[in-house]
């Protein structure tokens, strides 16, 4: 079991997964920012000396999150199997417990991924807005009932990147789906 799981959680696989994840966020944000810049005839993604280091840091952060999930996962799986055998549980019962456990790890991974993509997107957007000459942004929520009250209050308000609201940039708060729209002088 451990051998099998180690395959999923090998350092190489984790690094590949994290790299693909951060790369796909970058591709998504790049296209968005190019579309927003086009109105002013600017491509903010043409010269990005900050990008390599930012990507590297984001990937390493992601690797460490995935590694934490792995480190929690192994002892739990071991204990399910060990306890199951000790208590004379049937293979079917043990299997059900394992499936449930894997589901929990998967949920946690998705949760972390969603939270992280918002945060990475928020930071990338800020850098690219500034590159297209927008020193200010307009806070835009998803305008549905899931928007938290503290962000609903910010809907449509304009902030300076140099002086963002207390909750931080759009998208960076825990599981936040808000986005920043560029404001040009």
Q: Which residues of the chain form contacts with Zn ion (CB under 5 A)?
A: 151, 176, 178
Count CB neighbours of 20 within 10 A: 12
Q: Which CB, 45 or 172, lies closer to Zn ion?
A: 172
Nearer to Zn ion, 10 or 150 (CB): 150
Q: Distance between CA 176 and CA 44 in Å, rounded? A: 24
Residue 48 vs 115, nearer CB to Zn ion: 115
Query: Judged by CB, which is closer to Zn ion: 132, or 176?
Result: 176
Q: What is the DSSP string of 34-68?
A: HHHHHTTT--TTSS-TTHHHHHHHHHHHHHHHHHH
Length of the chain: 185
Maximum CA extent, the chain: 72
- For the CB of residue 118, give the shortest distance to Zn ion in the complex, in Å: 8
CB of 175 to Zn ion, least distance (A): 8
CA–CA dist 158, 168 (Å, integer): 13
End-to-end CA separation in angstroms for the chain: 60
The strand pairing partners of 60, in sequence order, are none
* Closest distance of CB 171 from Zn ion, Å: 7
> Based on CB atoms, which residue is closest to Zn ion, 80 or 121?
121
Closest CA to 182 of 146, 108, 128: 128
CB of 114 to Zn ion, least distance (A): 12
Q: How far is the CB of 151 from Zn ion (least distance, A)?
A: 4
């Amino acid at each position: 079991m451990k051998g099998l799981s180690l395959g999923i959680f090998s350092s190489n696989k984790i690094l590949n997964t994290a790299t693909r994840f951060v790369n796909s966020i970058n591709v998504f944000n790049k296209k968005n920012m190019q579309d927003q810049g086009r109105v002013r005839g600017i491509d903010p993604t043409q010269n990005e000396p900050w990008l390599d280091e930012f990507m590297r840091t984001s990937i390493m952060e992601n690797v460490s999150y995935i590694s934490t999930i792995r480190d929690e996962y192994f002892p739990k799986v071991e204990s399910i199997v060990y306890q199951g055998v000790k208590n004379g549980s049937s293979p079917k019962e043990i299997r059900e417990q394992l499936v449930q456990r894997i589901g929990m790890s998967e949920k946690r991974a998705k949760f972390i991924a969603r939270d992280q993509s918002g945060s990475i997107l928020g930071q990338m957007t800020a850098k690219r807005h500034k590159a297209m000459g927008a020193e200010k942004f307009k806070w835009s929520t998803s305008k549905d009932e899931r928007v938290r009250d503290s962000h609903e209050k910010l809907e449509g308000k304009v902030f300076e990147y140099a002086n963002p609201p207390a909750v931080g940039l759009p998208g960076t708060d825990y599981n936040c789906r808000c986005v920043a729209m560029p404001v040009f002088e």
